[in-house]
Amino acid sequence: MTSAPAASNSLPAAAESHDLISFLPDCVLTTIISLLPLHDAARTTALSRRWRRLWPSAPLRLLDSPAPLCAAAISQILASHHGNAVQFQLILTRPSPADLGSWLQSLSVKRLQELVLRPPSDEPLLLPPSIYECRSLRSAELTNCRLPEDAAAAGAVSFPHLAELSLRLFCAPSTAALQGLLAGCPVLTSLSLDRVFGCRVLRVRSGTLHSLTVSVSLTRRCFPDDASELELLVVEDAPALERLLAHDINWGPSIHVERAPRLQMLGYLGVGIPELHLGSTLFRSMSAVRLVSQFRCLRTLALEMVNPQVKPVVDFLYCFPGLETLYVTSHMVVPRSMTLMKCDNMHDPIECLNHHLRTVVLKGYGGQKHEVQLAMFLIRNARVLEISPTATADGLLCSSHSCPPHYSAPSLFAPRARGSPPPQFACAAKRNPSLSLSLAVADLAVRRPPSAALSLPNIMVMVR
């Protein structure tokens, strides 16, 4: 026999007063307060003497949006609060260096876990040295910020719990400073580099990193002080890295992957990447210079091409023998000067075509000649491609206005607005006469977990 719970749930009968809530213990009231938005939570301190001390001991989530906060209010909250700081977020407020310095100092004492600094205006905000005192941080987004000169380069940085780091429009005083920052994050699992300045070559070595994302400005430009943008990203040694994602790569950086034995997802790779080293394989502007079949773990590949053609796609397929899912995005602009690259002399058998490639997504498919050729090639040669009659699943939207649920295979890949299908597609139609077309909204970046993408066997064509 076990007799359970200590305190009673039977509240004293509402004899004189009706404020039964006052009979609840502090810890329960604190939980309730921690569910309130900041302003509402602060107002509870006016309720009574007892309530006055509740909010200051509740876990603090100090966010300056959606309701804006003035600097004085932030200082007041940090001075009066003695609970742990869960979250600190500045999006609407641009603090003075002195204010931010003392806030971060105070937050470090409160063992801040999650930091978001995204100050408005064009000028990057110089981070105070007290940022390095926030050693309890688990995740940090630093947008439009500039790293202070000293500590990072000196190797004094230590964020022993930081798992997620996102640097956007971020300026480092030197390559050494940025390298020092990363070196000080021993448990980092996710790193996002979105327009990073002041470091031309970044070398990544991390035993814990799972996901690495990189993107650059639309056009090549310099931040203040001629700090140039990232030009080369070297993944020297990342034994746990599973996803290497590039977004908006228009003119760089070059990407060298030296050792990433568990890499499963790679993309978008496009002509904006001047040099792509994948182990011993080398592509220059997406043209193969040297091809070696490696990276057996890679399951998902996304390519971004102007007028996708068979040859360069096949080169990539050759490199990744275990590939299961291929995304190809067509650019809108098709330069007339491009010549058709035929793929008659296919070097060696392409393992992923024969054994693994089950899903192909052609995004922005416009029915151009080369696109049709690519689609035809994949249907003919990808032997385990599963063309399933339905492709509706969570995360995929079927657009009913564009397409009836059952579309025949021939019209699927034919140029749009043209009547008769090319006769070559008879084979695909025979293989599965009830092939249906899904207009899928698929974004490599938002597909989580990666296995979700892998489990959708299909060709998906996204018509632009």
Q: Of the candidates 2, 121, 345, 420, which one interacts with other proteins according to CB under 8 A?
A: 2
Select 32 or 201, whichever has its Cβ closest to other proteins: 32
Instruction: State in angstroms the smallest separation of the CB of 136 from other proteins.
Output: 25
Select 87 or 424, whichever has its Cβ closest to other proteins: 87
Q: Identify which range of 14-22, 226-234, 258-266, 358-366 contacts other proteins by CB under 8 A.
A: 14-22
Identity (one letter) of the amino acid at 386?
E
Distance CA 225, CA 222 (A): 8
Instruction: State in angstroms the smallest separation of the CB of 449 from other proteins.
Output: 11
Select 39 or 82, whichever has its Cβ closest to other proteins: 39
Instruction: State in angstroms the smallest separation of the CB of 38 from other proteins.
Output: 8
Which residues are registered as beta bridge partners of 422? none
Instruction: State in angstroms the smallest separation of the CB of 29 from other proteins.
Output: 9
State the DSSP string of 286-344.
TEEEE-----TT--EEEEEESS--HHHHHHHHHH-TT--EEEEEE-S---TTPPP----
Instruction: State in angstroms the smallest separation of the CB of 16 from other proteins.
Output: 8
CA 65 to centroid of chain Cα atoms? 23
Q: Identify which range of 11-19, 104-112, 277-285, 397-405 contacts other proteins by CB under 8 A.
A: 11-19
Instruction: At 92, give phi and psi (nearest 5°).
Output: -95, -20
Select 453 or 459, whichever has its Cβ closest to other proteins: 453
Q: What number of chain residues touch other proteins (CB under 8 A)?
A: 48
Instruction: State in angstroms the smallest separation of the CB of 40 from other proteins.
Output: 5
Instruction: State in angstroms the smallest separation of the CB of 58 from other proteins.
Output: 12
Distance CA 185, CA 140 (A): 11
Select 9 or 345, whichever has its Cβ closest to other proteins: 9
Q: Does 10 bind other proteins (CB under 8 A)?
A: yes
Q: Does 17 bind other proteins (CB under 8 A)?
A: yes
Q: Does 393 bind other proteins (CB under 8 A)?
A: no
Peptide bond into 312 cis (omega under 30): no
Q: Are 162 and 131 in contact (CB under 8 A)?
A: no
Instruction: State in angstroms the smallest separation of the CB of 3 from other proteins.
Output: 6
Other Cβ atoms less than 10 A from the Cβ of 438: the count is: 25
Q: Of the candidates 58, 60, 62, 69, which one interacts with other proteins according to CB under 8 A?
A: 69
Q: Are 457 and 358 in contact (CB under 8 A)?
A: yes
Select 50 or 342, whichever has its Cβ closest to other proteins: 50
The alpha helices in 123-189, defined as continuous H runs, are: 150-154, 175-183
Select 77 or 233, whichever has its Cβ closest to other proteins: 77
Distance CA 274, CA 230 (A): 13
Other Cβ atoms less than 10 A from the Cβ of 401: the count is: 6
Beta-sheet pairing, 85-90 with 60-63: parallel
Instruction: State in angstroms the smallest separation of the CB of 322 from other proteins.
Output: 26
Q: Does 333 bind other proteins (CB under 8 A)?
A: no
Q: Does 70 bind other proteins (CB under 8 A)?
A: yes
CA terminus-to-terminus distance, the chain: 68
Q: Does 8 bind other proteins (CB under 8 A)?
A: yes
Instruction: State in angstroms the smallest separation of the CB of 31 from other proteins.
Output: 5
Closest CA to 348 of 314, 312, 374: 314
Select 80 or 399, whichever has its Cβ closest to other proteins: 80
Closest CA to 266 of 203, 193, 308, 213: 213
Select 7 or 332, whichever has its Cβ closest to other proteins: 7
The alpha helices in 330-425, defined as continuous H runs, are: 351-355, 369-381, 409-413
Identity (one letter) of the amino acid at 376?
M
The interface with other proteins within residues 25-64 (CB under 8 A) comprises: 25, 27-28, 31-33, 35-40, 42-49, 52
| Longest CA pairwise span in the chain (Å) | 93
Q: Of the candidates 53, 76, 225, 393, which one interacts with other proteins according to CB under 8 A?
A: 76
Instruction: State in angstroms the smallest separation of the CB of 41 from other proteins.
Output: 8
Closest CA to 397 of 441, 461, 449: 441
Select 1 or 446, whichever has its Cβ closest to other proteins: 1
Q: Of the candidates 4, 15, 332, 417, which one interacts with other proteins according to CB under 8 A?
A: 4
Residue 20 three-state SS: helix
Q: Are 165 and 208 in contact (CB under 8 A)?
A: no
The interface with other proteins within residues 210-249 (CB under 8 A) comprises: none
**Binding residues for other proteins, per CB under 8 A?**
1-11, 14, 16-25, 27-28, 31-33, 35-40, 42-49, 52, 67, 69-70, 72-73, 76
